[in-house]
Amino acid sequence: MQTWGIIKDALPYLLDGAILTLQITVISLLIALLIGLFFGMLRISNNRILRFIAAVYVNLIRGTPLLIQILFIYIGLPAALDFKLPPFAAGVIAISINAGAYLVEIFRAGIESIDKGQMEAGRSLGFTYGQTMRLIILPQAVRRMIPAFVNQFIISLKDTSLLSVIGLAELTMQGQSIYSVNFRAFQILSAVGLIYFIIIYALTLVSHWLERRLSTT
């Protein structure tokens, strides 16, 4: 009963942290989708320079720890350029840039999975390259990429736990704040882990459902 009472008292604060975690993840992934699409198009470009620019971005972000990226955006850049960035904005920027680098490869693979004859068919109908990509190729590619998008959402949601280092009151930080006061780390961290599990398990079920749905249509 004592354990349940501790968790019950902490639950409203943990749920506030969970809501903030979801907000950051959703906003970041929407921005990351735009980043991923933009650099994904550069990755499949016939222009060597554009492909190189995209490759540098992808390799740089994927080759450095997310924690370093968070600290660089929140502390490093503001110190160098003499400005202040709120933790929420820094967190969204860091998660967006990081997730975007992984989405670049998802977009590239998705677009390249579409038969090249589709592009030729679109061009033969008088569509420009951009129109063919937008109206014919991307709709088919995005449909194939949806499970990968959900998987990246799950990864980014877990990555938000690192934002506690910049004082952002997401789920992990809320848990740390609570057990630093009541010294009930086991109970609080168990509750934090359970909340993460429920959210991620629900998203995993959605991903599996989408994969089955898309494979039968």
- CATH number for the domain that contains residue 160: 1.10.3720.10
How far apart, in whole angstroms, are the C-alpha atoms of residue 11 and residue 38? 40
What per-residue confidence (pLDDT) applies to 217? 59
Here the tokens at position 53 are: 């620019």
Structural domain of 80: 2-215
DSSP state of 170: S
Centre a 10 Å sphere on the Cβ of residue 83 and count the other Cβ atoms it contains: 8
For 118-139, the DSSP string reads HHHHHHHTT--HHHHIIIIIHH
Give the CA distances from residue 2 to residues 82, 182, 184, 191, 211, in Å, rounded to whole numbers and listed in that order: 49, 13, 11, 14, 43
Domain count, the chain: 1
What per-residue confidence (pLDDT) applies to 1? 46
DSSP state of 57: H
How far apart, in whole angstroms, are the C-alpha atoms of residue 200 and residue 192? 12
Cβ atoms of residues 191 and 10 within 8 Å: yes
Phi, psi of 169 (to 5 degrees): -80, 50
Low-confidence spans in the chain with pLDDT less than 50: 1
What per-residue confidence (pLDDT) applies to 216? 63
Q: Give the rounded percent of residues in the chain with a pLDDT score beyond 70.
A: 97
Q: pTM above the 0.85 mark? A: yes
Counting every residue, how long is the chain? 217
Cβ atoms of residues 18 and 199 within 8 Å: yes
What per-residue confidence (pLDDT) applies to 215? 66
pLDDT per residue as tens digits for the range 28-58: 999 999 999 999 999 998 899 999 999 999 9
